[in-house]
Structure 1
Amino acid sequence: MTNEPQPDMTWSELIGTEGDARISEMQQRFVSLAGLDQGAREQQAESMIRAEYTLEDEPLADFTEARLRSWMGIAGDNLSQAQSVANAYDKAFERVPGGMAMHHAALVQTVARDRFTPEDMDVLYELVPRHVENVPRASQEAVEHSIGTQRLTAGTMSSGSKPWWKFW
């Protein structure tokens, strides 16, 4: 007999709440979660996770984005509080089935890559570093600008140097 927490379906029902209202409600829930002791925080986080992962993929991606944005909002006011909530979530994922944990890691990376700016990624790195450390942080525009600048400056030579093709 396992002693796993029951899913907190009131958590996953937040998917029916629209955008900013969902993020605000999540922030309130996470702030109260942060007030619990470590063991209770992890147990409640696991209950929230189990409910969250009853959602289908597309709503789950939207829910994950809102969760990450709510953590970022908390981090703007109190980084250590946001980190304690993110750490509780991370610890709780160590107790869920492996498939769920792997789905979580892939989903966080995908959502972070597709829906967040490089500036947002810096904040997320402070909260969930092992999930976002391999997500590119430079915007596509910055990369394209860098490549364009390199091409423009590659043809310039310092005085006295030979062109690359004159190797003799």
Structure 2
Amino acid sequence: MEYDEQSDEPIISPDTENATHFHTSEAPPELHAKFKRFHGYNTGVYNGHWADNKELRRLDNLALYDAISSQLELTNHQKRTGRQLFDALDLKDIGGGAALISFCVCALVCRDDGRIYHPYRNDRNNDDLFVKFGNELGFRRKIVAACYNRVSDALN
């Protein structure tokens, strides 16, 4: 099958070179531990004696980004673009936590397509989904604005 450069890439792709997936829940109960170990080997985070905690945290943060971008109804292109940008950021340098940084990356990615959100804009001028989700995050406007600015600076 030839590769079609005009088609979209799948949103969910393996984060490692090995594309084999072991789904523990689909295995017979007596093989759950074995499938879990195989899954750890293939993701590159576990070798039977130790786990790569840095990689585990990265994968958890990417999963969090995926959840937030879906909640904010980003398009497939926006999700892919934002995921790459989010993965390239050093979250410790930015501060504020992965959820808030994900939210800010989503807001910045959507700007190009006309969905505008900025914490200091009037809520009626902001995108409704971002306003609702931003309120659910529970951060003060000043904290969101500071993180938004740091993420914007890091991406530029």
Greater share of residues in helix: 1
Same fold (TM over 0.5): no
TM score, norm. by length of structure 1: 0.27
Please say which structure displays the higher CA radius of gyration.
1
Higher relative contact order (CA 8 A, sep 6+): 1
